[in-house]
């Protein structure tokens, strides 16, 4: 009985009516949202059903293109497979295998299976480095003549023999001098160029004039 009395008093309270109206409006809003969600799901299923034939058409066209590509490449793949099988079944001769063996084996050589690989054979395929040619085939010219190059830097005829046509000092493999005399001759050449007695870009004009006179005299005799 006290509970019923409390409900009656609550119903008579003005705040209870306000709360009741707010709750009813909230429940009505929730009902409208649920109805909208249901309509959206129905529309989505319809759209999905409508889009499915297009997807089927796209997948079917893709399958057709794939089959066409496979048919176009089938002869090439078959030809490559036939060539590989024929090459596998072919009997290799001794000459065919010798072409692949770049290294010349000798009796008693020790090797590992890795030495027979293509990477190791390519090392033997490279041409060996040729030794630098040396023109020195005897004693040093300056030692035999007893000449100090630094004392004859003014003699451009001697200096010109150890310089190229473009004014570069020749290498010891061409001059035939030992290292000490090569350094002394290089010092004398640099000094002659520094004081202006020896051109640094071409042969000496006096030497060119002498060669020209010799050619003219030789032509007169002929």
pLDDT in tens, 132-164: 655 556 678 888 888 899 999 998 888 888 988
* Contact between residue 198 and residue 159 where contact means Cβ atoms under 8 Å apart: yes
Task: Look up the domain containing 168 and give its range.
Answer: 141-221
Instruction: Assess if residue 123 is contained within a domain.
Output: no
- What is the value of pTM for the model shown? 0.36
Torsion-angle region of residue 92: left (phi > 0), alpha (psi -120 to 50) or beta?
beta
Whether residue 70 is found in the same domain as residue 148: no
Instruction: Assess if residue 115 is contained within a domain.
Output: no
Instruction: Assess if residue 114 is contained within a domain.
Output: no
Whether residue 78 is found in the same domain as residue 147: no
Instruction: Assess if residue 162 is contained within a domain.
Output: yes
Q: What is the DSSP letter of 138?
A: S
* Contact between residue 159 and residue 153 where contact means Cβ atoms under 8 Å apart: yes
Instruction: Assess if residue 113 is contained within a domain.
Output: no
* Contact between residue 169 and residue 162 where contact means Cβ atoms under 8 Å apart: yes
Whether residue 150 is found in the same domain as residue 71: no
Mean pLDDT of the chain: 73
Q: How far is CA 176 from CA 15, 111, 153, 172, in A?
A: 123, 43, 19, 5
- Residue 170 belongs to domain with CATH number: 4.10.640.10
Q: What is the pLDDT of residue 184?
A: 94
Q: Which of 49, 74, 89 is the last residue of a domain?
A: 89
Instruction: Assess if residue 73 is contained within a domain.
Output: yes
Q: Calculate mean pLDDT across residues 91-112.
A: 74
Whether residue 84 is found in the same domain as residue 11: yes
Residue entry with tokens 């003699």? 155
Instruction: Assess if residue 54 is contained within a domain.
Output: yes
Residue 217 is encoded by which pair of tokens?
Answer: 């005299």
Which of the four pLDDT bands, split at 50, 70 and 90, describes residue 118?
Answer: confident
Indicate the number of domains in the chain: 2
Q: How far is CA 179 from CA 171, 172, 176, in A?
A: 10, 7, 9
Q: Which of 56, 73, 89 is the last residue of a domain?
A: 89
Q: What is the pLDDT of residue 5?
A: 57
Does residue 170 surpass a pLDDT of 80? Answer: yes
Q: Which of 51, 74, 89 is the last residue of a domain?
A: 89
Instruction: Assess if residue 80 is contained within a domain.
Output: yes
């Amino acid at each position: 009985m006290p509970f019923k009395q409390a409900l009656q008093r609550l119903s008579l309270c003005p705040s209870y009516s306000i709360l009741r109206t707010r709750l009813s409006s909230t429940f009505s809003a929730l009902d409208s949202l649920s109805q909208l969600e249901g309509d959206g799901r129905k529309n989505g299923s319809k759209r999905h059903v409508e889009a499915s034939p297009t997807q089927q058409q796209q997948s079917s066209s893709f399958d057709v293109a794939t089959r066409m590509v496979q048919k176009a490449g089938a002869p090439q793949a078959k030809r490559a497979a036939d060539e590989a099988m024929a090459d596998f079944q072919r009997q290799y001769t001794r000459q065919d295998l010798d072409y692949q063996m770049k290294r010349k084996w000798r009796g008693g050589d020790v090797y590992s299976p890795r030495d027979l690989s293509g990477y190791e054979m390519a090392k033997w395929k490279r041409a060996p480095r040729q030794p630098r040619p040396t023109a020195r085939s005897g004693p040093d010219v300056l030692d035999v003549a007893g000449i100090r190059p630094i004392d004859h830097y003014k003699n451009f005829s001697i200096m010109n023999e150890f310089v190229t046509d473009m004014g570069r000092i020749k290498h010891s493999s061409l001059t035939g001098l030992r290292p000490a005399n090569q350094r002394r001759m290089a010092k004398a050449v640099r000094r002659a160029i520094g004081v202006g007695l020896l051109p640094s870009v071409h042969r000496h004009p006096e030497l060119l004039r002498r060669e020209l006179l010799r050619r003219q005299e030789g032509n007169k005799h002929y």
